[in-house]
Structure 1
Amino acid sequence: MTAPPVLSAVLWDMDGTLVDTEPYWIAAETPLVDSYGGTWTHEKALSLVGLALEDSARILQGEGVRMSVDDIIDHLTSEVMRNISRDGVPFRPGARELLADLKDAGIKTALVTMSMRRMATHIADLIDFEAFDIVVAGDDVTRPKPYPDPYLEACATLGVEPADTLAIEDSPNGLRSAVAAGSVVLGVPAMVSLEGAGAHAVWPTLHGVSASDLGELYRAHRKVGAA
């Protein structure tokens, strides 16, 4: 008898998936564009969700921000970090509880984000237990999401096969990255639609979701893939 597939690791996106930081990014972008005489709308802000920070910075340059790409990234990252330090970690519903349950179940975890490492580790350090085995950030990879590189890097560092993992994402680019890497992918929408992005499942929230629930989702889709 063939043994059932086993979920070895859960790979988490950060902004919009683990923590509700997208409003913080928008709050940092708006005055920056305004300060250079531009107008930053909510619709424009949504177009940056899930993009690499370098791409977002170039779009802001196109809106008139006369700063280098690196300076824009540093400025926005510092503003978001400052507000999180002031207000605390804005977890998405159920995210902290699910992380704790994964820890108790002995399932490896990785934070896979296109934010800078200094911000990713800052948020991870604010969690009141050791939530992640590793962090892969935007400045750790050459090709950002939607390329598979960030998730492949996370799997290699954890010492697991992508086929043995489940990724959780809130953006189309993130979903495409995880699917291309070979993970089972759960979409949990925050600010943008995930329709047509390739998620194996889309759940409205992580509230009440357990490590066992993720294991069942993983096994269901691995069985389908093997059929």
Structure 2
Amino acid sequence: MDGTLVDTEPFWMAAETPLVESFGGTWSHEQALRLVGLGLDESARILQEAGVRLSTQDIIDRLTEEVMRTIAAGGVPWRPGARDLLASLRAAGIKTALVTMSMRRMATTVVDLIDFDAFDLVIAGDDATRPKPFPDPYLQACEALGVAVDEAVAIEDSPNGLRSAVAAGAAVIGVPLMVSLAGAGAHALWPTLEGRTVHDITAFHADHHVSRTQREAARGGAR
């Protein structure tokens, strides 16, 4: 969600800085980048190391409430092309799931502000058995949708998100925003979702399956 569907990473960073400073600490842009794509429990631990003397849950609650207030005031800050691509997928009858490490109340706030029925399912940070970069969130989403994971396409903007989706067995597209995705395992890197449609997604998935079959055949021949 954050950074792929909607451009909320700056909202999180804007919430983190005053929180750390309220406890006498400092918080740099480089430190904030470490939290991109992390589960909120791990993010809270890093903020505690920076001097925030609150429990993990209190940190999560404070950050979530602040970001939710910002979104409620300004609306959904769509990433370029994200809304049109999602609408194209829905019009084609393709099942969609939002897989995010934000809390469910945050995810549903965003989904409720979308002006069409965007998702069949939400797997949020408080739903996942283990957070990204573990494969659990994507495996849970596929199981709940009734979709085999190798028939799924994941779109991610963070290294941790990419690693989660790749480990699950999905075909994965990386669309970078705040951090580099080089070496994170994406099967394709798109600079933007602008202009992308359901046809681009299905073509990518088909090409991925052909490439995977060829790789498996080559490995079998090498034996």
TM-score range for the pair, normalised by the shorter chain length:
over 0.9
- What is the aligned-residue RMSD (CA, Å)? 0.5
Distance 1:190 1:61 in 2: 26
1:125-136 equivalences under 5 Å are 125-136=112-123
- Superposed displacement of residue 142, structure 1: 2.2
- Superposed displacement of residue 188, structure 1: 0.1
- Name which of 196, 202, 206 aligns with 1:219: 206
Question: 2:219 aligns to what?
Answer: none
Partner amino acid for 2:128?
Answer: V
Query: What secondary structure sits across from 2:51 in the alignment?
Result: coil
Distance 2:134 2:33 in 1: 20
Distance 1:50 1:136 in 2: 15
Identity of aligned residues (%): 69
1:166-185 equivalences under 5 Å are 166-185=153-172
Matched, 1:156 2:134: no
Distance 2:201 2:90 in 1: 13
- Name which of 86, 100, 114 aligns with 2:101: 114
TM-score calculated relative to the size of structure 2: 0.95
Query: What secondary structure sits across from 1:33 in the alignment?
Result: helix
Question: 1:51 aligns to what?
Answer: 38
Distance 2:96 2:50 in 1: 38
Gaps spanning 5+ residues in structure 1: where? 1-13
- Name which of 161, 186, 196 aligns with 1:199: 186
Distance 2:128 2:151 in 1: 21
Gaps spanning 5+ residues in structure 2: where? 215-223
* 1:164-205 deviations in Å (ceiling 9; x for gaps): 010000000000000010100000000000000000000000
- Name which of 179, 197, 208 aligns with 2:195: 208
- Name which of 49, 56, 62 aligns with 1:62: 49
Q: Give the number of the structure with larger relative contact order, counting CA–CA contacts within 8 Å between residues 6 or more apart.
A: 1
Query: What secondary structure sits across from 2:132 in the alignment?
Result: coil
TM-score calculated relative to the size of structure 1: 0.94
- Superposed displacement of residue 226, structure 1: 1.5
Question: 1:35 aligns to what?
Answer: 22
Query: After TM superposition, which residue ranges in structure 1, 4 or more long, deviate above 4 angstroms?
Result: none
Distance 1:214 1:83 in 2: 31
Partner amino acid for 1:187?
Answer: G
Distance 2:126 2:120 in 1: 18
Question: 1:186 aligns to what?
Answer: 173
- Superposed displacement of residue 66, structure 1: 0.7
Distance 1:141 1:105 in 2: 28
